[in-house]
C-alpha cells in the first residue's frame, strides 16, 4: 500500500498491476474513507487497483466541506491513472453519501466507465463549515467549486419542525424543507453528458436526506435512462460500503459490468 499525503492528493493506494482502477470516496466525515466491509475490500483488492481518496478535513486539504475544488479530484485521479497507465474506460468511481454527491458531480468533469453512488444526493447542497454549530451564522457556501467559483447549490433552510427532527438525529426533514423552500434548478446534477454507466443505491428509510426520492429524480430527469440502474434497499443508515445487502449489490454490479 502506498500513502500520499499532500495538498494535491491525500490517499491510500493499493496497486494491482494491469487491473482497472476503483476510486472510493466516503461521506461527510473528514479524512480517508472508512467503514468498508471485508467482503468488499477483499473483492476489490483481488480485481482492481484501489484509491481511497480523502477530500477534506485532513492534512493540507480544505478544513471544511465548503468550496472543495473539483480540480482536486481531477488531479488526484489523473495522477494515479497516468502513473499506472490506466485508460478512462477502466476507471470506476464509488462514492458514499456526500461522496456519492461528489461522484455524480464528477461525471461532468472526469471520464470514467462506471459511477456507483450510494445513498447520494441529486443536488449540490450547501457545504458544511468546520464548526457545524456555526452553520446558522456564517455566510453559506457551496460544497464544491470549479475555477474558484462555487457550483450552484441549494441553501439549507431551518425551521422548527426540521430542527426538532434534527435533535433526534433525523436530518431528512431539513433537506426536504431546503429543497422545497430554496429550490435551485441549476443545483440539480446533470448526468446527460456522461458516457459511462451509473448505479444508484438508495435507502428506503433514509434519515439523513431523501436519497430514494432524489435518485428517482435523477433517473426521471436523465435522457440516458438505459445507462442508469437504481436499486432502493430497505436499509437504514449511510454505510452502504459496509452493509451486507448493499455490498452484495455493488459486487454483483461490478462483476456484470467490468470486463
pLDDT digits (tens, 9 = 90+) for 8-64: 999 999 999 999 999 999 999 999 999 999 999 999 999 999 999 999 999 999 999
CB 57 within 8 A of CB 31: yes
Could you tell me which residues come within 8 angstroms of residue 168 by beta carbon, excluding any fewer than 6 positions away? Answer: none
Q: What pLDDT, in 10s, does the model give residues 201-212? A: 999 999 999 999
Nearest to 225 by CA among 212, 216, 237: 216
In this predicted model, which residue has the larger pLDDT, 224 or 237?
237
Q: Three-class SS of residue 147? A: coil
- Nearest CA-CA partner of 233 in 241, 219, 245, 220: 245
pLDDT band at 164 (very low <50, low <70, confident <90, very high): low
**Region 2-123+143-153+188-257: CATH code:** 3.40.50.1820
Q: State the pTM of this model.
A: 0.96
Distances (CA, A) of 79 to 2, 8, 129, 180: 13, 9, 28, 40
Amino acid at each position: 500500500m502506498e500513502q500520499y499525503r499532500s495538498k494535491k492528493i491525500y490517499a491510500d493506494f493499493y496497486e494491482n498491476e494491469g487491473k482497472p482502477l476503483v476510486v472510493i470516496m466516503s461521506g461527510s466525515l473528514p479524512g480517508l474513507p472508512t467503514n468498508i466491509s471485508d467482503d468488499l475490500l477483499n473483492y476489490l483488492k483481488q480485481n482492481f487497483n484501489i484509491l481511497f481518496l480523502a477530500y477534506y478535513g485532513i492534512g493540507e486539504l480544505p478544513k471544511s466541506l465548503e468550496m472543495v475544488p473539483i480540480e482536486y479530484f481531477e488531479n488526484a485521479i489523473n495522477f494515479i491513472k497516468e502513473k499506472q497507465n490506466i485508460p478512462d474506460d477502466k476507471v470506476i468511481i464509488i462514492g458514499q453519501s456526500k461522496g456519492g454527491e461528489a461522484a455524480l458531480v464528477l461525471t461532468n468533469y472526469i471520464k470514467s466507465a462506471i459511477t456507483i453512488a450510494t445513498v447520494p444526493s441529486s443536488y449540490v447542497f450547501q457545504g458544511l463549515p468546520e464548526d457545524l454549530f456555526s452553520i446558522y451564522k456564517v455566510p453559506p457556501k457551496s460544497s464544491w467549486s470549479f475555477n474558484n467559483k462555487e457550483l450552484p447549490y441549494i441553501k439549507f433552510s431551518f425551521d422548527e419542525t426540521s430542527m426538532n427532527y434534527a435533535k433526534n438525529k433525523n436530518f431528512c426533514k431539513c433537506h426536504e424543507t431546503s429543497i422545497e423552500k430554496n429550490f435551485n434548478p441549476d443545483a440539480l446534477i446533470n448526468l446527460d453528458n456522461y458516457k459511462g454507466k451509473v448505479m444508484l443505491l438508495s435507502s428506503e428509510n433514509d434519515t439523513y436526506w431523501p436519497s430514494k426520492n432524489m435518485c428517482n429524480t435523477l433517473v426521471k430527469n436523465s435522457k440516458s435512462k438505459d445507462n442508469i440502474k437504481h436499486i432502493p434497499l430497505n436499509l437504514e443508515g449511510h454505510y452502504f460500503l459496509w452493509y451486507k445487502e448493499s455490498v452484495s449489490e455493488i459486487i454483483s454490479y461490478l462483476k456484470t459490468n467490468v470486463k
